[in-house]
Amino acid sequence: MSILWRLLAKYRRAVILAVALVMAFLLMTLQVRHDRAVVSFTRQAVLFLMTPVIKVTAVTVGSVSRVWGDYVDLRNLREESLRLTREAAVLQRRISHLEEQALETQRLQGLLVMREISRAEFLAARVVGKDSTNWFKTVLIDRGSLAGIRRNLPVVAPDGLVGRVVEVTPTAAKVQLITDPVSAAGGLIQRTRVTGIVSGSLGAGLKVRYLPLMADIVIGDEVVTSGMGGVFPKGIPLGRVIAAERRSGALFQEATLAPKVDLSRLEEVLILMGTESRDGFETGGVRQP
């Protein structure tokens, strides 16, 4: 036993490195094998610890930006007189505040319109953080399982599909954007009713793959969700075709889409909690009759 301890002590650097690498490798292997229990627990535990800090930072940054904006606005005012400057400063602050409110109202009106159109049950959430790497495209939202959010619920914005919920903690959730390299959704070319698989890529933009070789696809075609695949309901706008490619010898053609939603400027999103809609949209990955 003492020999073992002596050996471990002697080679502790190598042992610690090996243990760390094996643990990381095991975590990745478990995830690839869809054994989610350990991975999900670890991920949620870290998320649970980190989310409060991220939320507080997001709120603080928002407040500081507003104060900074007010400060910049104030500096730009001409100092004609002390009284007028003070009045202008007060007015400027009010204007900034009202403008912010107006923009927010505009955005929320858009969300409301969408809600009325699709008659679905929605839950609004704020985006509080972005993906921590440049490899993947996810965002953190400020609603979690306490608000009824579950994995695989679709997330939308007024202009179209945003993505789906992939990780949930009690007070926050992670949304995989449609531009994420490992994201995929069934797509439908609206004009010709041809279906394909819309997936993200490492570069910007979306790709529609597995389109029939002879399908009629032109630049400007609108693409919506096809409803196939069991996660996204049919008819949510995905993007517009900006390029189509037929490679010689290929079995399928491919198109590049510009996403409908500006995913780099997301502030609020809607989570589709389930619906009584015409398309038989399912909840939590289980199709409703």
Say how many residues touch other proteins, by CB under 8 A.
Answer: 50
Contact partners, residue 245, CB within 8 Å, separation at least 6 = 253, 254, 255, 256
> How many other CB atoms are there within 10 angstroms of residue 127's CB atom?
20
| Residue 204 is a binding residue for other proteins (CB under 8 A) | yes
- Residue 202 makes contact with other proteins by CB under 8 A: yes
Nearest Cα to Cα of residue 154 among 257, 34, 267, 285: 285
Site for other proteins in 255-274 (CB under 8 A): 264
**What residues contact residue 101 under an 8 Å CB cut-off, 6+ apart?**
none
Q: What b/e string do you get for 9-20 counting C-beta neighbours within 10 Å, with b at 16 or more?
A: eeeeeeeeeeee
Looking at beta carbons only, is 21 or 117 nearer to other proteins?
A: 21
Residue 108 in the binding site for other proteins (CB under 8 A): no
Residues 18-57 that bind other proteins (CB under 8 A): 20-21, 23-29, 31-32, 39, 42-43, 46-47, 50, 53-54, 56-57
DSSP string, 142-184: S--GGGT--TT-EEEETTEEEEEEEEE-SS-EEEEETTSTT-E
The yes or no reply on residue 128 touching other proteins (CB under 8 A) is: yes
Distance CA 114, CA 122 (A): 10
Site string for other proteins, 54-83 (x = CB under 8 A): x-xxx--x----------------------
The burial of 74, by beta-carbon neighbours within 10 Å (0-12 exposed, 13-18 middle, 19 or more buried), is given as middle
Considering only 117-125, 176-184, 218-226, 279-287, which stretch makes contact with other proteins by CB under 8 A?
A: 176-184
Give the one residue of 68, 71, 135, 210 binding other proteins; rule: CB under 8 A: 135
Find the binder of other proteins among 125, 140, 147, 188 (CB under 8 A): 140
Residues of this chain that bind other proteins (CB under 8 A): 12-13, 16-17, 20-21, 23-29, 31-32, 39, 42-43, 46-47, 50, 53-54, 56-58, 61, 128-138, 140, 166, 174, 176, 180-182, 201-204, 264
